[in-house]
Structure 1
Amino acid sequence: MMDILMYLFETYIHSDAELMVDQDELSEELLRAGFHQEDIYKALEWLEKLAALQDTEETPYMNTSSVTAMRIYTAQEMSRLDTTCRGFLTYLEQIHVLGADTREMVIDRVMALETSDFNLDDLKWIILMVLFNAPGNESAYSQMEELLYGMEDGYIH
């Protein structure tokens, strides 16, 4: 599923290409690109839920903005997000790329992935997708892009 999400992000979102609105056409294109139907449905559902996170009535953590709060990870979150990933999230909060609300959106989307093989590079992609889709975070998205694409090899994967 991560491959599909990265493909969609690079092909449509990041390249400023026109995103097809018709989900059937998009599914067909992904099938032609070699992805499996079940993974396509899961990825599209994942993206729909990402868009739904903008509704603060459905996501109560979006209303919290305490700068003094400390995030405690559950055992499940710690098994998905290793210490490197958790440290990176903390770093991004400290430099104000992520706020408590966007951090929670990232964690929500990470936990929604059906994978046992998750790493820092995957997390970076999820962060970019969340920041891109979260209104009012254009500056944070730009900072994140600079952090990632300004690295030695110029790529985030």
Structure 2
Amino acid sequence: MMMDILMYLFETYIHSDAELQVDQDELEEELVRAGFHQQDIYKALQWLEDLAALQQSDAQSAISTSAATSTRIYTAKEMERLDIECRGFLLFLEQIKVLTTETREMVIDRVVGLETNEFELDDLKWIILMVLFNVPGNENAYTLMEELLYTKEQGILH
């Protein structure tokens, strides 16, 4: 349900270029009217705050010092959430320069930060779009990711 709220917010406010300066109480009321539960709304809004906080995080400086040839080893918790298809997709996006080591780590952090029992590749794609949209300087990567998604939906990319 948390993923549904995030997708709703992304499509309604971010992707549509709607007014982003919305009062949080107003936003919560709108989400309740849309049929979402208060607890899920709180978790989703906290998730978005945590995403914003990642941009200011000192952890990013540690990530950026890793070698370009290094290999990402996933923890058991990460592998529990990200199946082999998801991990392969992350690697593919790094190889074609849609994700950097920094944005990959932000994506993984936000995936692990989700409170959900079900997570699949389509959910990962939404998280990637949200991360790329929220990190300044990734406009080209965001556009490329969008193009990849739309091309795949049309059956061209396998």
TM-score interval, smaller chain: over 0.9
Amino acid aligned to 2:18: A
Question: What's the C-alpha RMSD, in Å, of the aligned pairs?
Answer: 1.5
Q: Sequence identity of aligned pairs in percent?
A: 73
State the TM-score, normalized to the length of structure 1.
0.93
Q: Residues 133 and 139 of structure 2 are in contact (CA less than 8 Å); yes or no, is this contact kept in structure 1? A: yes
- The equivalent of 2:38 in structure 1 is 37
Q: Residues 128 and 144 of structure 1 are in contact (CA less than 8 Å); yes or no, is this contact kept in structure 2? A: yes
Matches within 5 A, 1:74-153: 74-153=75-154
Q: What is the alpha-carbon distance in structure 1 between the residues aligned to residue 63 and residue 42 of structure 2? A: 26
The runs of 5 or more residues in structure 1 that have no matched partner are none
Q: What is the alpha-carbon distance in structure 1 between the residues aligned to residue 144 and residue 126 of structure 2? A: 14
Q: Residues 94 and 100 of structure 2 are in contact (CA less than 8 Å); yes or no, is this contact kept in structure 1? A: yes
Q: What is the alpha-carbon distance in structure 1 between the residues aligned to residue 57 and residue 113 of structure 2? A: 18
Q: Residues 3 and 123 of structure 2 are in contact (CA less than 8 Å); yes or no, is this contact kept in structure 1? A: yes
By how many angstroms is 1:77 displaced?
A: 0.6
Cα deviation, 1:43-95, whole Å, max 9, x if unaligned, reads 00000000011114254544335201110000111110000000000000000
Larger RCO (CA within 8 A; separation ≥ 6): 2
Q: What is the alpha-carbon distance in structure 2 between the residues aligned to residue 7 and residue 99 of structure 1? A: 26
- The equivalent of 2:17 in structure 1 is 16
Q: What is the alpha-carbon distance in structure 2 between the residues aligned to residue 107 and residue 61 of structure 1? A: 15
By how many angstroms is 1:32 displaced?
A: 0.4
State the TM-score, normalized to the length of structure 2.
0.92
Cα deviation, 1:4-48, whole Å, max 9, x if unaligned, reads 000000111011111243110000000000000000000000000
State how many pairs are aligned. 154
Q: 1:100 to 1:58 in 2, by over 3 A?
A: closer
Q: Residues 93 and 99 of structure 1 are in contact (CA less than 8 Å); yes or no, is this contact kept in structure 2? A: yes
Q: What is the alpha-carbon distance in structure 2 between the residues aligned to residue 97 and residue 59 of structure 1? A: 17
Amino acid aligned to 2:12: T
Matches within 5 A, 1:41-56: 41-56=42-57
Q: Residues 60 and 102 of structure 2 are in contact (CA less than 8 Å); yes or no, is this contact kept in structure 1? A: no
